[in-house]
Structure 1
Amino acid sequence: MIGLVSTISSILQSPSNFTIKAATDCTVLCIPYLKLKELIFEVDDIKSFYIKYLEKNWVIDKEEREVSIVMDSAQTRYENLLAKCRNIEQHVSLKEIASHLGITPTQLSRIRKNKI
């Protein structure tokens, strides 16, 4: 999957401000950004895939997440996450889930307690 890196870091050829941790076993393909960029311009199928990926992940999903953080309650964000990522609690710590939701672990604990 393209994008398991800091896009800004790749474009600017600078160190990333964060790291990514795989929650489950996976296969990682490592390709230098400049080589990927060459392939995008040379191979139409890769170009089409890349454009669709950017539209989905950097426009649609990103905007939906930003709107949700401002407009939805923490409870709603948590419920949406569980619906989208079934069994996430088996793979990711509650602290990481809380961080993703923009809330404290204590707030997440309260939400989970009220849900039962």
Structure 2
Amino acid sequence: MEQYAPLSEDAKQAFAVELHFRELKKKEVYLSQGEIPKKIAYVCSGLLSYYTIQENGDVVIKRFFAEHSFVASTAALVKQTPGLFAIEALEDSLLIEFRFEQFKQLMHHYTDIAFFWINYLEENWVARKEEQEITLKYLTARERYLNFIQNNPTLVNRLRQHHIAAFLGVTPTQLSRIRKEL
């Protein structure tokens, strides 16, 4: 958390009271599509995907959450509406989770926690979302794959080919062809 904003000892102690560990097994769903989320979690270890299933059955992965990231269906969490995305563990994972309502109360009481949250959202949701939208709209499938492996070198060997394909918006067969061409 300190990478986004320094926290006072009082804020750290107040926040620590709200934390709970949760283990997920590989393929275990953390949040179902259509569920109204109540919690957010920090990924201590493991890997999760943030995805939706389209009407035709295709899986579209919007994001991966690895170690040292916060996992949530953020828009649904903030609006308290049914989530459009599901979150599933791709590996056995250890999370530290906390209830968002209590976190909001802490933000009202501790400005350093509020600054942390603002900085985290700016860096990990606003800026990243814009970059991802540009990538998906203007780059070819080959360029998207090269961009993915350049920006996510530690994930490439942890993900199955169909996960990468679902993230890039291509079929596994198309991804296989791209990889053979390189």
Q: Is the shorter-chain TM-score for this pair beyond 0.5, marking a shared fold?
A: yes
Residue in 2 that maps onto 1:8: 75
Residue in 2 that maps onto 1:96: 163
**Mind listing any 5+ residue stretches in structure 2 that lack a counterpart?**
1-41, 43-68
The partner residue of 2:97 within 13, 30, 36 is: 30
Compare relative contact order (CA 8 Å, sep 6+) and give the higher one, 1 or 2: 2
- The question of 1:53 aligning with 2:120 is answered yes
Percent identity among equivalent residues?
37
Cα RMSD (Å): 1.8
Change in CA separation of 1:87 and 1:3 when aligned onto 2, cut-off 3 Å? closer
**Mind listing any 5+ residue stretches in structure 1 that lack a counterpart?**
none
Task: Tell me the TM-score normalized by structure 2.
Answer: 0.57
Report runs of 4+ in structure 1 exceeding 6 Å deviation. none
Matches within 5 A, 1:37-76: 37-76=104-143
Equivalent position SS for 2:121: helix
Give 1:97 deviation, angstroms: 0.4
For 1:4-48, what per-residue CA distance to the aligned partner results, in whole angstroms no more than 9, with x for missing partners?
111122123344333323445543111111111111221122111
The partner residue of 2:150 within 74, 83, 97 is: 83
Which has the larger share of helix? 1
Which has the larger share of strand? 2
Task: Tell me the TM-score normalized by structure 1.
Answer: 0.85
Equivalent position SS for 1:30: strand
Distance in 1 separating the partners of 2:92 and 2:110: 29
